Amino acid sequence: MMPEKESKPLVLLVAIDFESESTVALDTAVALARRAPPAVVHAIHVVEPLLSTTVTPLASVDFQRQARAQLELLISRQHLEGVVIPHVHIGTPGGIIVRISESLRADIIVIGTHGRKGLDRLLVGSVAELVVREALCSVLVARERRPESDVGNESNTSASGSAKPAIPE
């Protein structure tokens, strides 16, 4: 009889921008992790560099510190301390998410989408789209689950008051 081989944990990286779509992505990543143990969930927030020449590098560090506190608060409010590992970086979100996914050897990136269309999408761009194109691993674009009758109805929340995850627990 051969000894059981220890399985490599599933590594998930979830992108957080503090919009409701990223909360759905976080809930979805945690639900996936709970369905496929062992798993590790990393949450990443990327602080975009400031373009102003009057802003000092110290200001960027302060924004990064504030973002870390906000990410840790989100994790705490969702009761995910010890379940989700926070990461905060400065840079262009899509590129940083892809780079960190590679360094973590992520199996899956979970990212929310704003669902912008037309001119808004052209002007703002799509971090999710860039990540889907550039990532070396699978990417799950999470959306809030809505029955057709609820489209446009903002009351589609879970019992905890947050948006329902794309994958039910």
* Fold exhibited by the domain 10-146: Rossmann fold (3.40.50)
Q: Looking at residue 167, what is its pLDDT?
A: 66
Amino acid type, 168: P
Structure-token match 């373009």, residue found:
51
Contact assessment for residue 97 and residue 127, using Cβ atoms and an 8 Å cutoff:
yes
- Over residues 41-97, the pLDDT tens digits come to 999 999 988 765 556 666 777 889 999 999 999 999 999 999 999 999 999 999 999
Whole-number Cα distances in Å, 55 to 58, 92, 117: 8, 17, 32
- Over residues 8-36, the pLDDT tens digits come to 899 999 999 998 889 999 999 999 999 98
Q: Residue ranges of the domains in the chain?
A: 10-146
* Structural Rg of the chain based on CA atoms: 17
- Over residues 110-162, the pLDDT tens digits come to 999 876 666 555 544 589 989 999 999 999 999 877 666 555 554 444 434 45
